[in-house]
Every structure is written in structure tokens, then in C-alpha cells.
Amino acid sequence: MLRLVAASIAIAALAGCSVGDEIEPPPAPAGVDLEAVDIDDETANGIWLLDGPTALQRVVDAVRAGGGGRMQGWIEESVPVEDATPVPGRRIDLAVAGTASAYRAQLTVEGQELELIVADGAAYLRGNAAYAQRVGDERFVSGFVCLTPDDDLVTEWRTLTDPAQLIDEALGGAELGVDAPADGGGTTEIVVGAGGAPVGALTVSAVYAPLPQRLVVGDVSGNASIDFADWSGTEAVTAPEDVAVDCG
């Protein structure tokens, strides 16, 4: 891609010019630091040449265009205390595998445990007694209950089951920068809080598609540690067999 950028610059500079004309260099492509372009590895994606917001969007786009993957980790909120250090709040543990439209997710939140499967245009959800009590429906304890994918009981977890959405919402409003990969390194980091004291980083691939590998962040609002893997594609997600309440 970087070679195409360089070629387009050369063509734009030469088109319509005759010998002796003063050539005005074209503007740099948006978000690209051309002074840093020096890549011999044809597999390098050049993500570190972009500004932070542009790099983040490339990562989000790569996840959405990928063939699915796995996401596992935890998020811990912090509760603000006036004139004191925030105290730990709600913790969410998550494990998700699949794509945005077909996935299996296991979530634990303050004693509530639930398993959510979305496949073949339907959603299947089951949980423990604490979860069933919160939603006011004991059927979820007996087995999977079939729901529509747009049911509120499904969509309330959307950010935690969609890696692209989680990354976008977690980092979209932050000040970001991008580090160059170490010599011979296959990864680079999108640094969170690049303008001051860094509060975390999203590690992404520096070759081929800039897919995420790990997110670690922490500030007064909370902490998170999430690993991403298997972007080459996970096993197909299918409807569960032990359905307590059928669809329709």
C-alpha cells in the first residue's frame, strides 16, 4: 500500500507538467507521516505511520472485515469517592468466540453468570439464579431460552460481545499515538494517553491486517485487560441442543 501511495504522488506531480515547470509537491495523504516511510518488508502494514485516530479506525475496520476471532479478559470499573482515591467497583469477566453475527459469549458480572449464543438468525441465552432474578424470568435457569438477536436481553451485552465495538467505544474518545515496532518486531502499540502520562496500550499486528492482540488500560474510571486471538477464523457457532424454550 505504501508503494501505491508513493506512486500516486509521483503521478500527481508529473501529470500535466512540461520541462522547466516548477513542480509543487502534493499534500501528504491524510493521517500519513511521509517522512517516516522507509519500509522494506512488503508484509508491513504501516499502521505506525498514521495518527492515532486513523490507526484506531484501521484496526476497527480490520476486525469487522476479519473472519472472526476470540476475546477473553476482564473489565473493572472504579467508583469515584469525593476527595479520595476511587475504589474498585463492578468487575466483568468475558470470553467470546465467533463473528459479530454468530458468536458464543460467557459473561460474569457481580455474581451473575450467563451464556449467550447467537447463530442462524436467533439468540439463545441461559444464566444462573442471580441472573434470572435480575431479569425476572426463572426460565433462564432451566436451559437456553430462544430470543431474537435484537431483544434487549441480548443487545445490553453488545459492546462486550463485539470486539470491534468494544475497542472503538473504549478508545474512540482518548488521545492516541502510535509507536513504531521494534526492529524485527511483528507488533506495534497504539498508546492511550499519548499526550501526557500513558494509561495503556492496544497491541496490534504490524504486518498484514492490523488486528488487535491485547488491550491493557487503566485510569481513574477503571481498568481492563483483554486478549485477542485466532483472527484466522474460529470454529463455526451453531445453535445449542439443550434449548428449554424454543424459538417462536
- The average pLDDT across 166-195 equals 90
d(C-alpha 33, C-alpha 180), whole Å: 12
Q: Based on the domain organization, do 158 and 94 belong to the same domain?
A: yes
Q: Based on the domain organization, do 149 and 84 belong to the same domain?
A: yes
164, pLDDT greater than 80: yes
Q: What is the total count of domains within the chain?
A: 2
Q: What is the pLDDT of residues 2-39, one digit of tens each?
A: 332 332 322 233 233 333 444 444 444 444 444 544 45
Q: Based on the domain organization, do 146 and 175 belong to the same domain?
A: no
- The average pLDDT across 147-162 equals 96
d(C-alpha 56, C-alpha 58), whole Å: 5
Residue 155's pLDDT is 97
Q: How many helices (H) and strands (E) does the chain have?
A: 7, 12
- The average pLDDT across 178-204 equals 89
Residue 31's pLDDT is 47
Residue 11 lies in a domain: no
CB 76 within 8 A of CB 90: yes
Q: Based on the domain organization, do 108 and 142 belong to the same domain?
A: yes
CB 117 within 8 A of CB 123: yes
Residue 246's pLDDT is 92
Q: What is the pLDDT of residues 86-115, one digit of tens each?
A: 777 899 999 999 998 999 999 999 999 999
Q: Based on the domain organization, do 239 and 116 belong to the same domain?
A: yes
SS3 135: helix
Q: Based on the domain organization, do 88 and 153 belong to the same domain?
A: yes
Range of the domain at 89: 72-162+233-245
CB 58 within 8 A of CB 213: no
Q: Based on the domain organization, do 58 and 177 belong to the same domain?
A: yes
Residue 192 lies in a domain: yes
Q: E-assigned strands of the chain?
A: 69-81, 84-98, 103-109, 112-119, 122-127, 144-147, 176-178, 187-192, 200-205, 212-219, 222-229, 243-245
Residue 37's pLDDT is 45
Provide the residue type at 241 as one letter.
E
What dihedral angle (degrees, nearest 10) is formed by the CA atoms of 77, 81, 83, 86? -30
Residue 12 lies in a domain: no
Residue 114's pLDDT is 98
Of 122-131, 184-193, 229-238, highest mean pLDDT: 122-131
Q: Based on the domain organization, do 216 and 109 belong to the same domain?
A: no
CB 78 within 8 A of CB 90: no
Q: Based on the domain organization, do 205 and 153 belong to the same domain?
A: no
Q: Based on the domain organization, do 145 and 94 belong to the same domain?
A: yes
Residue 210's pLDDT is 97
Q: Based on the domain organization, do 86 and 208 belong to the same domain?
A: no
Residue 13's pLDDT is 31
- The average pLDDT across 216-237 equals 89
Residue 137's pLDDT is 96
Residue 41's pLDDT is 62
d(C-alpha 126, C-alpha 244), whole Å: 9
Residue 48 lies in a domain: yes
Beta-bridged to residue 22, according to DSSP, are none
Q: Based on the domain organization, do 80 and 41 belong to the same domain?
A: no
182, pLDDT greater than 80: yes
Residue 4 lies in a domain: no
Residue 80 lies in a domain: yes
d(C-alpha 70, C-alpha 84), whole Å: 37
Q: What is the pLDDT of residues 51-82, one digit of tens each?
A: 999 999 999 999 999 888 999 999 999 887 77
Beta-bridged to residue 212, according to DSSP, are 204
CB 144 within 8 A of CB 117: yes
Tell me the C-alpha to C-alpha distance, in Å, between residue 86 and each of 79, 223, 226.
5, 12, 22
CB 192 within 8 A of CB 219: no
Residue 17 lies in a domain: no
Please give the model's pTM, rounded to 2 decimal places: 0.80
181, pLDDT greater than 50: yes
Residue 38 lies in a domain: yes
Task: State CA 141 to chain mean position distance.
Answer: 31
